[in-house]
Amino acid sequence: MSDTRLSRRDFLWSATLGPAVRGQPAAGRRVVIVLDPRDPVASAPPVRWATTQLEEAFRGSGWGVLRRDALGDAPADIPVLVIAGASAPIARDVLKTHKLALPAAPEALAIVAGRFAERNVTLACGSDVRGAVYATLELADRVRHASDPEGALRITTPVAEKPANRIRSIARCFESDVEDKPWFYDKSFWQAYLTMLATQRYNRFSLTLGLGYNRPRNVRDVYFYFAYPFLVSVPGYNVRARPLPDAERDRNLEMLRFIGEEAARRGLQFQLALWTHAYEWEDSPEANYVIEGLTPERHAAYCRDALTEILKACPAITGVTFRIHGESGIPEGSYDFWKTVFEGIVRAGRQIEIDMHAKGMDFRMIDVALATGMPVVVSPKYWAEHMGLPYHQAAIRELEKPRETTDSFFALSNGIRRFLRYGYGDLLREDRKYGILYRIWPGTQRVLLWGDPAIAAGYGRTAHFCGSDGVEWCEPLSFKGRMGSGKPGGRCGYADASLNPRYDWEKFEYTYRVWGRLIYNPGTDPGGWRRHLDREFGAAASAAENSLANASRVLLLVTTAHGVSGSNNTYWPEMYTNMPIVDEGKNKIYRDTPQPRRFGAVAPFDPQLFSRVDDFAKELLAGHRDARYSPAEVAQWLERFAQDAVRHWQEVERRSKARTTAEFRRWAADIAIQSGLGRFFAWKFRAALLWAVYEQTGEAAALREALKAYRIAREAWAGLASVAKGVYVPDITYGTAPHLRGHWADRLNAIDEDIADMEQRLAQANTEGGRAPGESVARAIREILSPPARAAVQCRHTPPPRIQAGEPLLLEIVLETSQPFTVRVHYRHANQAEDWRVADAEIHQGRYRTVIPADYTQSPYPLLYYFEGRGPSGVILYPGFGPELSNQPYFVVQRTWARGLTGSWFVLRRNIRPPLAKDGG
């Protein structure tokens, strides 16, 4: 066969594109786009808007575009694109030709080349309006990124996708009138930003107001903090935010309406988040606005009526998010207050989702929301106020367990409902009548570029954990300028103005691509983000992807293993304030952590699967370690990620021809900083382990190794701070406290002080002429610096498809080894208020068997479990983590069939409708 011979599919496409595409000059190339006005999907406003984006993409590439109502109206010699709903005759026929079934789910899409009515066509179709929008914008994105639209139109492999998660939301916070008013009032910003969100398959945008402070105390910048009087004047109430001019208040409402309309135009749900309902500020003499005309007696009624005014003025708002717990300014347990406020939603006269932040939540509060007849979602945090590895922590810290409290304002979140501060708690009952949406807070990473397809896909797989609805991600740069710390000069914080993009989100365009597409479908075609890399990095695209992916794993792993504080107001690992190894007295900020408050005693955010520094050192010295992932293994992973990030970036520098572009320089700096963070934390974990060995034995050999390790960590921090010095401004502000602002270079002094304390201890130690350490200490040092591999044993296990309530559950696993192993099963309900149980497995005909007792399966919660094995070659956890740390390390079995995006899902979820009606609302 000749090399020039076309495949049947390539021939089809060559014929479809016509002679102009088959080698003729670019001038005169045209395409016809067909939208049948009789098709309720194709004729919907969001699909027509998406089609204009496709037309603009073609015109930007020098192609002419014709739009026709029917295929028969298209000229015979011009390639044809058809935008349609899945039930349209042309879509049914083309899909049938390819034996391709569009997934029977909301928001599904298909793109395929085929024939209809003796014409070659490209079909972009959706199961509903939003699915058709995604298919159309996918074609537009391909055209924009192609050197020639011919390549973008060559659909050699049919595309058919459906969403894994019902809600895929982005939250953008208004924190500072100095930093945020410019983008809030910029209509061009909103049009570009919302178009990007729709293109990357997000289906909800949340404008988040009132999250500028932890509670209404010591406030300075209160713009939109208590949002109502900044948006509306409510008849019957003389409430205003002094000194806000009426014209500015009216302009704010008009912008809110504009944002909602633009979101609806693109098929996006528009969520308004109102996080604060306090109207008086405690100890706040510097507040730039005060609320006048409101009294406690009229507080709830005013909020109700103001909310109704806003919802009627902005009909595109599809949901409202509330912070219910004490930080809202309302005492916990104020059920009557919230009942009154929720009436404001009912009075708006349409279906509007109520989303309640889960902290301090109880089932009585949920019932208050459900009584409105509106769809209700409860939104717990994913990894406290941070972002960890892509699974739900197997256990919460002891600090999050219920306790007695005398604080009546926070009676629930600091008391019997404390386990909901930083996780899903007891919300995952399978008989629930409310939805669950996980929210990823911005404590871990705010400034630096992020992008790891493996981790994003992992989140896509676990966002619907136990039948949940999905995930809302606080976008990059969230909390910039918070608590009155806003400064002029742009949110990105670049010292070099040439690095600033036109809009701040454009720095993170790749982040949005990777996250949005993989939350939509964890198995999506990687071309969706690689085309961006191809354009920016050319032959170095693959190396750039791998470099940033490895760098992006660093802080997520640090967060998981080093849970020094659940609060983003204290713990910021990206610009880490040093937690001392030696002297607890040098710790000035970390209080949300066990005593003694120093590095070695810090609990992981998942203490079920990760061990503490001090505990692991004790295990090493005793010669018997448990199966949890150790700080030494964490250090090894961190160093590997850092080294791989650097190695791949070196390849980028060798192969890329665009080393002077702003995009290249931004990537180079942020990857270097994150790689340095990986090396710093790797060696700090080692230093802390070695210090713990010294403290527990008094042997100076461990102390000397600790000091060596700490100096390497310090060198890594100094290196990353040097990289950042010429790139970022000296004062990057995410709060007014020193640990929430500044620069990486500022943190060196605390590291140096800790090292000096360690040096002083070494000088005082009796080295006895540098004698060799005892065997247990020598072994511990070796295993800290080079931890042995876990047992390499293949395991076979098939999870049961479901639990029969009240019946025993048999779990079996086969270990492919001739070595003798003992096996245990760890299991727990999907209820973080409970502790894990452990059962020994018995071997029977080569299979290790455990039975979960019948009384334990008689529960409204799904079951989590994993296996622990111990043998001559070491320990195993199964399923454990893969090399990318992107998988869920335990199994989940539900009592009923998992609720996915199917018709039965809507039967199970009372009051919830499919995400998008045909009219695009």
Taking only the tens place, the pLDDT of each residue in 656-686 is 988 999 999 999 999 999 999 999 999 999 9
Query: Residues 367-372: what's their mean pLDDT?
Result: 98
- The model's confidence at residue 151, banded by pLDDT at 50, 70 and 90, is confident
- Helices 45-60 + 187-199 axis angle, to 10: 100
In the numeric block, which tokens belong to residue 363?
A: 């089932």
Query: Residues 24-52: what's their mean pLDDT?
Result: 88
- The model's confidence at residue 219, banded by pLDDT at 50, 70 and 90, is very high
**pLDDT over 90, % of the chain:** 88
pLDDT for residue 149: 87
pLDDT greater than 90 at residue 921: no
* Interatomic CA distance for residues 209 and 173, integer angstroms: 6
Q: Tell how strand 822-829 and strand 30-35 pair up.
A: unpaired
pLDDT greater than 80 at residue 6: no
Other beta carbons less than 10 A from residue 586's beta carbon:
16
Is residue 496 a contact partner of residue 727, using CB atoms and an 8 Å limit? yes
pLDDT greater than 60 at residue 912: no
In the numeric block, which tokens belong to residue 612?
A: 């503490």
CA within 13 Å, CB half, 187: 8
Is residue 50 a contact partner of residue 137, using CB atoms and an 8 Å limit? yes
Is residue 36 a contact partner of residue 118, using CB atoms and an 8 Å limit? no
pLDDT greater than 60 at residue 903: no
Phi then psi for residue 906, to 5 deg, are -75, -25
CA within 13 Å, CB half, 83: 37
Report how far Cα 336 is from the mean position of its chain's Cα atoms.
34
C-alpha pair distances (Å), 8 with each of 18, 96, 117, 154, 155: 15, 18, 19, 13, 13
Report how far Cα 279 is from the mean position of its chain's Cα atoms.
31
CA within 13 Å, CB half, 859: 24
pLDDT greater than 80 at residue 19: no
Is residue 226 a contact partner of residue 213, using CB atoms and an 8 Å limit? no
**Residue 129 backbone class (left: φ over 0; alpha: ψ -120 to 50; beta: rest):** alpha
Contacts with 873 (C-beta within 8 Å, 6 or more apart), sequence order = 791, 792, 793, 817, 819
Q: Which of 629-633, 670-674, 754-758, 791-795 is predicted with the least confidence, judged by mean pLDDT?
A: 791-795
* Interatomic CA distance for residues 72 and 47, integer angstroms: 21
C-alpha pair distances (Å), 602 with each of 24, 99, 590, 838, 865: 67, 56, 10, 25, 25
Q: What confidence tens digit (pLDDT) does each residue in 505-526 have?
A: 999 999 999 999 999 999 999 9
- The model's confidence at residue 17, banded by pLDDT at 50, 70 and 90, is very low
pLDDT for residue 228: 98
* Interatomic CA distance for residues 879 and 425, integer angstroms: 23
pLDDT for residue 770: 60
C-alpha pair distances (Å), 461 with each of 523, 573, 638, 678, 796: 9, 25, 24, 26, 21
Contacts with 418 (C-beta within 8 Å, 6 or more apart), sequence order = 400, 401, 402, 403
In the numeric block, which tokens belong to residue 153?
A: 């139109």
In the numeric block, which tokens belong to residue 558?
A: 């640090």
pLDDT for residue 9: 38
C-alpha pair distances (Å), 561 with each of 398, 556, 600: 15, 9, 12
pLDDT for residue 18: 40
- Nearest-Å Rg of the Cα atoms of the chain is 29
Q: Tell how strand 353-357 and strand 376-379 pair up.
A: parallel
Is residue 841 a contact partner of residue 848, using CB atoms and an 8 Å limit? yes
* Interatomic CA distance for residues 863 and 190, integer angstroms: 43
SS3 letters across 758-805 = HHHHHHHCCCCCCCCCCHHHHHHHHHHHCCCCCCCCEEECCCCCCCCC
pLDDT for residue 314: 98
Helix (H), strand (E) at residue 111 = strand 109-116
* Interatomic CA distance for residues 195 and 520, integer angstroms: 16
CA within 13 Å, CB half, 869: 30
Taking Cα atoms as reference points, which of 369, 878, 859, 863 lies closest to residue 609? 878
* Interatomic CA distance for residues 604 and 601, integer angstroms: 10
Phi then psi for residue 109, to 5 deg, are -135, 160
Taking Cα atoms as reference points, which of 11, 63, 34, 26 lies closest to residue 122? 34
In the numeric block, which tokens belong to residue 752?
A: 């140096």
Taking Cα atoms as reference points, which of 406, 402, 344, 396 lies closest to residue 374? 344
Contacts with 190 (C-beta within 8 Å, 6 or more apart), sequence order = 258, 259, 262
pLDDT greater than 50 at residue 904: no
Taking Cα atoms as reference points, which of 322, 348, 346, 345 lies closest to residue 334? 322
Q: What confidence tens digit (pLDDT) does each residue in 858-897 have?
A: 999 999 999 999 999 999 999 999 999 999 999 999 986 4
* Interatomic CA distance for residues 743 and 911, integer angstroms: 48
Q: What angle do CA 415, 416, 418 make, to 5 degrees?
A: 65
pLDDT, the chain, mean: 93
Q: What confidence tens digit (pLDDT) does each residue in 818-868 have?
A: 999 999 999 999 999 999 999 999 999 889 999 999 999 999 999 999 999
DSSP 283-320: T-TT-S-EEES--GGGHHHHHHHHHHHHHHH-TTEEEE
pLDDT for residue 118: 85
* Interatomic CA distance for residues 83 and 351, integer angstroms: 29
Is residue 546 a contact partner of residue 447, using CB atoms and an 8 Å limit? no
In the numeric block, which tokens belong to residue 708?
A: 């060596």
Contacts with 310 (C-beta within 8 Å, 6 or more apart), sequence order = 228, 231, 232, 253, 256, 272, 317
Q: What confidence tens digit (pLDDT) does each residue in 736-757 have?
A: 999 999 999 999 999 999 999 9
In the numeric block, which tokens belong to residue 623?
A: 């010669």
- The model's confidence at residue 14, banded by pLDDT at 50, 70 and 90, is very low
Taking Cα atoms as reference points, which of 86, 82, 192, 200 lies closest to residue 141? 200
Q: What confidence tens digit (pLDDT) does each residue in 389-441 have?
A: 999 999 999 999 999 999 999 999 999 999 999 999 999 999 999 999 999 99
Q: What angle do CA 315, 196, 67 make, to 5 degrees?
A: 85
Contacts with 213 (C-beta within 8 Å, 6 or more apart), sequence order = 219, 225, 276, 482, 483
pLDDT greater than 50 at residue 916: no
Q: What confidence tens digit (pLDDT) does each residue in 224-261 have?
A: 999 999 999 999 999 999 999 999 999 999 999 999 99
Listed in order, strand segments (DSSP E) in 323-428 are: 353-357, 376-379
